[in-house]
Amino acid sequence: MTEYLLNLATKKLPIITFALYTKLMKIKIISSAYPLRGGISHFTGLLFKELKKNHDLEVITFKRQYPKLFFPGKSQTEAENEIEKIDTKILVDSINPLNWLMLGNKIKKEKPDLIIFKYWMPFFAPCFGTISRIAKKNKTTKVLVICDNIIPHEKKVGDIALTRYFFSVVDYFILMSETVKRDLIKIKKDAKYKLLFHPIYSNFGELIDKQAAKEKLGIKSEKNILFFGFIRKYKGLDILLKAVALLKDKIDLNLIVAGEFYEDENKYLSLIKQLDIEKKVTLHNDFIPTADVKYYFSAADVVVLPYKDATQSGIVQIANNFNKPVIATKVGGLTEMIEDGKTGFLIEKENPEQLADTIIRFYEENKEFEFTQNIKAEVEKYSWQKFTAEMMEILKN
């Protein structure tokens, strides 16, 4: 609270948030969180660290997030590290209704002012919806949901029905793209929502010397572009590989692919071989630990997101953390996060020819320095302090 008052005195925070910050709230966050890995867990950890400055906070995470049979990755947990470590209660079983009943009753008795859920796929709707229904019987607890997605990228029968089951007991929604807003209104027309930016991922450290990063990764190429994150069909790595093939005789370029395959990697390996670009691709096909992320972004000149579908992307906000420009497709919230011609380039989806031309333009026009300077001027608006302050304002309604 002292920190907030000092910031208020120096006008670093909007005065409108003062009343909310002076009221100590009892809050529970239910989400993927440490020791689970991935972008959702990173988000939850950063949200926790900001909210705990002013509120009584507890994070509840999964003891079973997905059944092993349905999990496409190698592991659901990240190796222990002090960067991501937060105090979490490992209580939720995503597929056990008895667990939902017990946890719902536990929270009902504890009477928190607010439960915050991080929501990204309908698989969790029965679990979250049941816990919320029971907890809210205490007539005290409200439910707020931060939505990454509402309609998932890979759609399944029953998605809408499951989502409605959960959303029918939600009091407030925080959205991070116009695409997600449109999806919410289709399902719950009277929803109380607030559209905010996706805050920056500040947990990966600071930019390091580019040459030192390349040496750490064993990369000798002068020009390097980066594809980062879990590899799934909708992210369009195949499009990027085809663009690299178009460039192989025009520009001396290396593509760094850093992330674990969440689908059959052989089809990508076969495509790389078929396109004859083995010498143009550096493949780190595993989960990238938090402490190592800085090397990949620091080594790259530009990050490329050739998504075929998207709501928003946390990868953009990792890139912003390292002041790295992004070339991305015009899908979902990516158009809201990247200023075309100022902090990166936006192109049409599933168009390897245009992607190749844009990469050439990036280098021929020496855009790296210009875009980097523009990003530095923009990143303050993506702070966690600003995000949480504006998020909490919705509780006044």
When the candidates are 3.40.50.11930, 3.80.30.20, 3.40.50.450, 3.40.50.300, the CATH number that belongs to 2-195 is 3.40.50.11930
The answer for residues whose C-beta is within 8 angstroms of residue 143's C-beta and 6 or more apart is 114, 115, 117, 132, 135, 136, 169, 170, 171, 172
Q: Report pLDDT for 318.
A: 94
In order of 120, 232, 359, 391, the CA distances from 235 in angstroms are 16, 6, 18, 29
d(CA 64, CA 42): 18
Of the chain, the percentage scoring pLDDT greater than 90 comes to 68
Sign of the CA dihedral running 120, 125, 129, 131:
negative
The CATH code of the domain at 210-380 is: 3.40.50.2000
Identical fold between 2-195 and 210-380:
yes
Q: Are strands 172-175 and 193-195 parallel, antiparallel or unpaired?
A: parallel
Q: Report pLDDT for 15.
A: 38
Domain extents in the chain = 2-195, 210-380
Whether residue 259 contacts residue 74, with contact meaning beta carbons closer than 8 Å, is answered with no
Whether residue 119 contacts residue 90, with contact meaning beta carbons closer than 8 Å, is answered with no
Q: Report pLDDT for 73.
A: 55
Phi/psi of residue 66, nearest 5 degrees: -135, 145
Q: Report pLDDT for 156.
A: 75
pTM above 0.85, yes or no: no
C-beta atoms surrounding 33 within 10 Å: 26
The residues pairing with 36 across neighbouring beta strands, listed in sequence order, are: 77
Residue-wise pLDDT tens digits, 356-393: 999 999 999 999 999 999 999 888 788 999 999 999 99
Amino acid at site 212:
A
Mean residue pLDDT of the chain comes to 89
Query: Which segments of the chain have a pLDDT < 70?
Result: 1-22, 68-84, 153-154, 311-312, 397
Residue-wise pLDDT tens digits, 220-230: 999 999 999 88
